[in-house]
Amino acid sequence: MRSEEQVLTWKDVDDLLMRAGELQRSLDASNEAMTEKIAAIKEEHKAATTTVQAELDKVVRLLEVFAEKNQDGFRGKRSRKLNHGQIGWRKSTKLALTKKPLEVIELLRRKGMEDCVKVRETVDKTKLKEFPDDVLEQVGARMEVADVFFVEADRHESAEL
């Protein structure tokens, strides 16, 4: 029979696999319960806030319409402070592309504006694996083979063999 920190027999291994399966099922159940609770909370939140968000959007639209019609009430300023807050206009600048993104990228490159193009370069290890060892060595890579330990416990209730 095994001690708590030592595996002595194949029966001990099988018993530990059974325990690993029990623990994995427990984790799976816990994760599933968590996912269901999160989904339920999201649905509750959506149900509870949909009407509030809709009303807020309506209030903002009403205030914007009023402000547009009563710009003289801002006394030449961009905003107006009231007892319960302020309304007004803020300058907002965003870049809009007038051509397709690939066209813009090509034009930027032609004009020497490479720093305006984001490029993320990484080694494609999947593709690189296709090359022979001598080519891999030339580019600073090599294939490494190792035996990696794994535990694959049955996730169903165990039956004694």
> Does residue 145 surpass a pLDDT of 60?
yes
Domain that holds residue 122: 94-147
On whether both 50 and 100 belong to a single domain, the answer is no
The 3-state DSSP composition of the chain as helix, strand, coil percent (nearest 5) reads: 55, 5, 40
pTM of the complete model? 0.53
Q: Specify the number of domains making up the chain.
A: 2
On whether both 65 and 140 belong to a single domain, the answer is no
Residue 154 lies in a domain: no
Residue 45 lies in a domain: yes
Q: What is the tens place of the pLDDT at every residue in 12-47?
A: 999 999 999 999 999 999 999 999 999 999 999 999
Of 81, 85, 87, give the one whose Cα is nearest residue 66: 87
> Does residue 154 surpass a pLDDT of 90?
no
Residue 41 lies in a domain: yes
Sequence-distant contacts of 145-154: CB under 8 A, at least 24 apart: 151/17, 151/20, 153/17, 153/18, 153/20, 153/21, 153/24, 154/17, 154/21
On whether both 3 and 82 belong to a single domain, the answer is yes
Q: What is the tens place of the pLDDT at every residue in 90-136?
A: 999 999 999 999 999 999 999 999 999 998 889 999 999 999 999 99
